[in-house]
Amino acid sequence: MSRLKNKVVLISGASAGIGLAAAEAFAAEGCRLVLGARRLEKLHAVASAISAAHPAEVKAVSLDVTEEQSCDAFVSEALQAFGQVDVLVNNAGLARGTDTVMNQSSDDVREMFETNVFGLLTLTRKVLKPMLAADSGHIINLGSVAGHLAYEGGSAYCATKHSERVISEVLRLELLGKNIRVSSIDPGLVETEFSTVRFRGDGEKAKNVYAGMTPLTAADIAECIVFAASRPPHVDIDTLVVRPLDQAGTKVFRRP
Q: Which of 59, 126, 161, 210 is catalytic?
A: 161
- How far, in Å, CA of 65 to CA of 240, rounded? 24
- Residue spans per domain, the chain: 8-252
Could you confirm whether 205 is annotated as catalytic? Answer: no
HSE, CB side, 13 Å, CA atoms: give it for residue 178: 21
Q: What DSSP state is assigned to residue 141?
A: E
Segment 20-41, tens digit of pLDDT: 999 999 999 999 999 999 999 9
Asked whether 23 and 33 are in contact (CB, 8 A), the reply is yes
Asked whether residue 2 carries a pLDDT value surpassing 90, the answer given is no
Mean model confidence pLDDT for the chain: 97
pLDDT computed for residue 184 by the predictor = 98
Asked whether residue 1 carries a pLDDT value surpassing 70, the answer given is no
Q: Which of 7, 126, 157, 210 is catalytic?
A: 157
Segment 193-226, tens digit of pLDDT: 999 999 999 999 999 999 999 999 999 999 999 9
Could you confirm whether 7 is annotated as catalytic? Answer: no
Mean pLDDT computed over 37-56: 95
- How far, in Å, CA of 11 to CA of 32, rounded? 11
Segment 106-132, tens digit of pLDDT: 999 999 999 999 999 999 999 999 999
Q: Provide the CATH number for the domain formed by 8-252 in this structure.
A: 3.40.50.720
